[in-house]
Amino acid sequence: MSIIAPAETATETSHFIDGCWTARGGPTFAVRNPLDDSLVAEAAAGGRADAEAAVAAAAAAFPAWAAMPPGERQRLFLKAADIVDAREDEIVRLMAREGGSSRAFAAFQIRLSAAMLRQAAGWGYLPAGDVLRSDVAGRTATVTRKPLGVVAGFTPWNGAFYLAWRTFLLPMAFGNTTVIKPSEEAPLSAGLIHAEILEQAGFPAGSFNVVTHAPGAAAEIADVFFASPAVRCIDFTGSDRTARILGERAGRALKRMVLELGGFNPVLVLDEADIEEAVKAVTFGAFLHQGQVCMNSRKVYIARDRHDEFVAGLRARVEALKVGDPTDPEVIIGPLINDRAVAQIDERVRDAVDRGATLVTGGTHEGRLYRPTILTHVPPEAICTTGCDETFGPLLVIEAFDDVETAIADAQSTPYGLSAAIMTGDRGRGLDIAERFDAGIVHVNAPTMASEAALPVGGVKDSGWGRSGHYAIEDFTEVRLTTVSRDPGRYPF
C-alpha cells in the first residue's frame, strides 16, 4: 500500500501496529494542507487501546530485535536507505502538501535521513562495552551496553521526515523497539511514511509501531506510555512548554527522557567576515522552512561598521526568495503550519514596530504565506528580542554591535543553547569565541542549520538533553556490569 495517493487526492490512513495496518473504518480526523486547507488524508484517530496494543507489540518484539546480529540489522537499515532514495519524489510531494515544505527543505531532509540510515547501519558494530580492572585478584569485570526496552517517541510536524527518523532510528540502531506518536499536524510525514518504508524493507513486526491521533488526544496516548513498565524512555521533539509537562510526568514515573527542544540560535558576524558569504549563510539559516525549525537563526549580531552593507545584501537576497505553493520547485517560502503560527509572528512583528523597530522587509502575509521578515533597531523590551520564547516563523532580528564581548554575552542571555554560528575571516578568532559559547553546537563559517547525519545534534539549557549520531548510544543503552571471580571470597563476617 502507499499512503501517498497517486492522484494527490485524499487518502485514508491507519495505525501501524505489530506489522499490520489497523483501524481502518474507525474514527478519523482530517489532515489538511496548510496552504489551502485541502484534504490530504483522513487519519486514524487513535486512543488508549491503540497505544496499549502498540506498546505490547513493541515489548513482544524487543527480545528478538535486541538479539539480532548486527549484520542483519545493517541489511535492513541499508535497504530502508535505498527505499528513501527511490521514493524521493513522492516524499517531497507529501511534505509539500502536508507540511508546507519547499522542495529544498524536503530534499535536505531526505538526504540527511538516507545518510543517517547508512550511518546507523554500522552502529551495531560499535564496541559493546569494556573490560575493567578489579582490585580483587582473579576477578574479571566486564561492562556491556544493553538496550533499554521500548522507547516511545513523539515526532514533530516541522522537520517531520528527518526528525521522525532521528526519533526512532537511533534507539532502534542500539537494539530498542519503538512506538511513535506523530504530531497531529503531520501524521503521514512524521511516522506513517516511515512505517511504509520499514515494512517494505522487511523490518520485523512490532519493532516499529505508529499510533496517530486527533488534536486533543495526545495526553491520552502519553498516559499509556508513562503507565507502561515496558516503556523505558520517552523521546520528545517539540517545544520546551510541552517538554516541561512530559518531564514532570517522566519524573513521577522514573522514566528516562531524551529532549530535542527549541533554540534561539544567534549568529555573530565579525568585522573581518566575508559579507557575501555571511549573507548566504544567514538567508539559509534563518529562512529554511520559513523559520519553523529549532535550529533556524533568530538573531544576527553584526559589527557596526559592516551593518549597512550586510543588511542591504541580506535584504536583496531575502526579497528574491519565491513565496508560494511549495509544490512549485522554485518556491522557497511555503505556508506556515497553522493560523496560530501566523498570529504569533504577526503579533511579534507589530509589537516590535510599535516599539520603534525598523521593518527592513516583510511583515505582511497572504493567508498563511508570511513574507520573510527582517527587523533592525529592535528595542530590548520587544517580545521577539528576548529569546524567552522562540518565534517559530520567518522572522530575523539584526543588531549592530560595537563591542564583541557585549554581543557574545547578549547572544547567550537566552534560556536556550542549541546552535550558534560565527562568521569570520579569522578562523582562530572564530574558534576562540566558539569555545566560550554555551550551546550544543557552534559552527564557525557555516549556518546554524549546518546539520550532518553523523554529527551529534542536541542542546544544552532549555534546548534539551541527548545527542544524535552514534553518541546516542549514551541515551539509548544502559551499562551492565558483570564480574566473574576465580578465587574464594574473603568476607568480614
Binding site for ligand ADP (CB under 6 A): 154, 156, 183-184, 218-219, 222, 238-239, 241-242, 245-246
Contact of 150 with 17, CB cutoff 8 Å: no
- Work out how close the CB of 246 gets to ligand ADP at its nearest, in angstroms, rounded to a whole number: 6
Closest CA to 337 of 377, 297, 291, 302: 291
- Of the residues 98, 184, 199, 260, only one is catalytic, namely 260
CB of 177 to ligand ADP, least distance (A): 20
Rounded least distance, CB 293 to ligand ADP, Å = 12
For 452-487, b/e burial (b = at least 16 CB within 10 A) is: ebeeebbbebbbbbbbbbbebbebbbeeeeeeeeee
Closer CB to ligand ADP, 243 or 311, in the complex: 243
* Strand, coil or helix: 473: helix
Q: Smaller CB distance to ligand ADP: residue 75 or 241? A: 241
Nearer to ligand ADP, 124 or 191 (CB): 191
Q: Is 260 labeled as catalytic in the residue annotation?
A: yes
C-alpha span between 323 and 257 (Å, rounded): 38
20 among known catalytic residues: no
What are the cell numbers at 144? 556491556
Q: How far is the CB of 26 from ligand ADP (least distance, A)?
A: 19
At 6 the three-state DSSP class reads coil
Rounded to whole angstroms, the Cα distance separating 247 from 345 reads 27
Catalytic residue among 184, 294, 384, 390: 294
Is the Cβ–Cβ distance between 351 and 357 less than 8 Å?
A: no
List the beta bridge partners of residue 29.
43
Comparison of 217 and 323: residue with beta carbon closer to ligand ADP:
217
Residue closer to ligand ADP (CB basis): 236 or 284 = 236
Contact 341, 292 (CB under 8 A): yes
- Minimum Å distance from CB 245 to ligand ADP? 5
Query: CA 451 to CA 222: how far, in whole Å?
Result: 29
**228: helix, coil or strand?**
coil
Query: Is the Cβ of residue 242 or residue 361 nearer to ligand ADP in the bound state?
Result: 242
Q: How far apart are CA 92 and CA 164, in angstroms?
A: 15
Which grid cell sits at 115?
Answer: 545518510
Q: Are 39 and 120 in contact (CB under 8 A)?
A: no
Smallest distance, Å, CB 376 to ligand ADP?
A: 28
Give catalytic residue positions: 260, 294
